[in-house]
Chains A and B, each alone.
Chain A
């Protein structure tokens, strides 16, 4: 961070908010989630610390290499995304695998596209999914960050407050989960389960697994966020719906949140395209009305 830089031309003043601090807020806001995880599993402190060091070293190495290659100053994305990845993956994943996951996430999900704001997916999510997909036996359980849904919710609220995240995505997720779970319960509720088992309701879905963590810190990442407010709503709705569907319909993935987040994230450019075309038609309609008068 250079203290010296000033504006050269109009606008001569700029807001204090900058991308570096916006990214850093993701780390700060997820501190309570990490704290809650360590509070509930104090024995995880050592392994978690080791894995954090592993992802940070890997991430910093890639960042250094790419910043040299592109002759750009170093970004802090590796710091934040490494931290989020360490919170996403289980604390018993072997260290080399964590480093590989971080490499995959940062290179494929960040650097090849040119850095923050240019990549369509969140690097930490991509790294965690790489582990789940490639090594399902070691990456089956949830990470440390998902231990407390309350801490995640507080972190998400903080991100919205400082303007780093849009409230529309998490709200869309909540609505999507609630509606889909209710519809699904109405559907399966008709069938009589002999042992009295009922499918989980929307609230259970929301607080279960990694959904809260992903809603607060992964889906809201401004680096891969939607450009339009409409697409932000749709992104959230789709993510919530997909999560419930994956959980209910695919027994091999009891917590399908990471997959749902990736799939919903990949549709964002399409959702944006639809929203932008709609906006263009609205503006054109305004002009046509004027031409008629």
Chain B
């Protein structure tokens, strides 16, 4: 079914160029999803859950079953994070200020992906309160996040708007359409289940090729978006649908794979702990789609594709999280895994005028060519030193919203919270500003500046 409304965006940037053939030509052949090798170790990261104060339910050495709570939110004990698999707790790693960094679990049976029964039968006849309770108990409530702040909503909160993101334009993202088309019943059931949360409107944001007839839900509005990244991000959708974000954080959003999982819970009462992710690494193999599980070990997913010195990212090049040796698991909200080469380490004794001159000449040539470096030549190099913010035209070229980007970015880095709020910073998250940081010649990170300004706005009411 064609969307009731289509929004075509022109500005933006696809870092990895046109999508690889295996993703794009799905009309000719179905999306090829390989089964990922089984993990022996899985884990969850506390960093996924913004400002959740964990009170742990398990200790190192405990045995846990899939779906059993690992920790609860101290302020709302109904809100728990369940184990993504059955096994033994190996580590509980704390980060800065005793925040919970990682809990890792050694699986009993690596190949076996169980689907624990949360409720007897389905939820189709359940009342809204029971559905809410089932979502909370299963941990699927965690798939919801608020805008602004990106927190998991409290159990008794009611959304004003609910955004279902069934499109993805991040570098190397999977095409959601074939994944949804393979489970149409789950998707429709998921939307029906979400309608019981009583949002004013559910915005279903899809690609233009989305072919599934959405279920007859009165509050459902179907909109399709096309164009380069960030056409697939929630912040862009909010802006173009004219939805104003407020400090109440009553706009919620979630991804399409979580809708499928909610649909399965709604229909059968079973918890879907699977994930389909895109895996991309520099090298001869093209990016591919892998069927894996929540909290999967990123190193296992990449296998022999992982070069020893490359950076392993849960998520995309633009908004993913770099893993570190103690925490290398798939993030709760990430649908892709990327390995990125590091630039060759400079030999400090050999930095001479000649090497600097060569680097400068290469840089000047790349400026003249104007084309951004393309995969697989992208690296983690910063390509410069942090300096002042120069409002170049490049910001306008990648910015699909009506607000002037450089004015917003300068308001963010100078801490001018009022102007930033007027320019719509509450509708945005760090991921929406990733391309701005990418093109910034002054090498600012506007995502962290946005976080600071949003916290400041929240403190001052």
Kindly list chain A residues whose C-beta atoms are within 8 Å of the C-beta of B431. 10
**Contact between B407 and A272 (Cβ–Cβ < 8 Å)?**
yes
> Is A14 positioned at the interface, with any CB of B under 8 Å from its CB?
yes
Q: A289's closest neighbor in chain B, by CB? A: B242
Task: Type the 1/0 row for A271-282, where 1 means its CB is closer than 8 Å to any CB of B.
Answer: 010011001101
Distance in angstroms between the alpha carbons of A223 and B406 in the assembled complex: 13
Distance in angstroms between the alpha carbons of A7 and B319 in the assembled complex: 12
**Contact between A16 and B367 (Cβ–Cβ < 8 Å)?**
yes
> Is B364 positioned at the interface, with any CB of A under 8 Å from its CB?
yes
**Contact between B439 and A17 (Cβ–Cβ < 8 Å)?**
yes
**Contact between A6 and B447 (Cβ–Cβ < 8 Å)?**
no
Distance in angstroms between the alpha carbons of A10 and B122 in the assembled complex: 40
**Contact between A286 and B402 (Cβ–Cβ < 8 Å)?**
yes
Contacts of A5-58 to chain B: CB distance below 8 A: 5-22, 24-25, 28
Kindly list chain B residues whose C-beta atoms are within 8 Å of the C-beta of A20. 384-385, 387
User: Given A16-B373, A283-B424, A10 and B430 touching (CB < 8 A)?
Assistant: yes
Question: Which listed segment binds A: B142-150, B299-307, B342-350?
Answer: B342-350
> Is B452 positioned at the interface, with any CB of A under 8 Å from its CB?
no
**Contact between A11 and B423 (Cβ–Cβ < 8 Å)?**
no
Kindly list chain B residues whose C-beta atoms are within 8 Å of the C-beta of A226. 391
Q: A168's closest neighbor in chain B, by CB? A: B393
**Contact between B448 and A9 (Cβ–Cβ < 8 Å)?**
yes
Kindly list chain B residues whose C-beta atoms are within 8 Å of the C-beta of A287. 242-244
With beta carbons under 8 angstroms apart, the residue of B311, B338, B363, B394 that contacts A21 is B363
Distance in angstroms between the alpha carbons of A280 and B381 in the assembled complex: 35
**Contact between B383 and A17 (Cβ–Cβ < 8 Å)?**
yes
A3, A25, A75, A291, most chain B CB atoms within 10 A: A3
Interface size on A, as a range, is 35 or more
Q: A167's closest neighbor in chain B, by CB? A: B393
**Contact between A117 and B422 (Cβ–Cβ < 8 Å)?**
no
Q: A228's closest neighbor in chain B, by CB? A: B404
B332 CB to closest chain A CB, in angstroms? 16
Kindly list chain B residues whose C-beta atoms are within 8 Å of the C-beta of A167. 393
Interface size on B, as a range, is 35 or more
Kindly list chain B residues whose C-beta atoms are within 8 Å of the C-beta of A15. 372-373, 383, 394, 438-441
User: Given A19-B441, A163-B394, A279-B423, A114 and B406 touching (CB < 8 A)?
Assistant: no
**Contact between A161 and B368 (Cβ–Cβ < 8 Å)?**
yes
Kindly list chain A residues whose C-beta atoms are within 8 Å of the C-beta of B388. 19, 114-118, 223
Q: B433's closest neighbor in chain A, by CB? A: A11
B421 CB to closest chain A CB, in angstroms? 10
Distance in angstroms between the alpha carbons of A282 and B419 in the assembled complex: 14
Distance in angstroms between the alpha carbons of A122 and B342 in the assembled complex: 37
Q: A10's closest neighbor in chain B, by CB? A: B319
Kindly list chain B residues whose C-beta atoms are within 8 Å of the C-beta of A230. 404
Residues of A whose CB lies within 8 Å of any CB of B are 1-22, 24-25, 28, 73, 75, 114-118, 161-164, 166-167, 222-223, 225-230, 272, 275-276, 279-280, 282-283, 286-287, 289-291
What are 19 contact pairs spanning A and B, CB under 8 A?
A1-B356, A1-B384, A6-B343, A7-B382, A12-B318, A13-B317, A13-B318, A15-B372, A16-B383, A17-B441, A18-B442, A117-B387, A223-B390, A225-B392, A227-B391, A276-B404, A276-B422, A276-B423, A287-B243
Since A10-B430, A225-B391 are in contact, a sample of 7 more A-B pairs with Cβ atoms closer than 8 Å, ordered by chain A residue number, is A2-B385, A6-B379, A12-B313, A19-B387, A164-B392, A222-B390, A227-B406
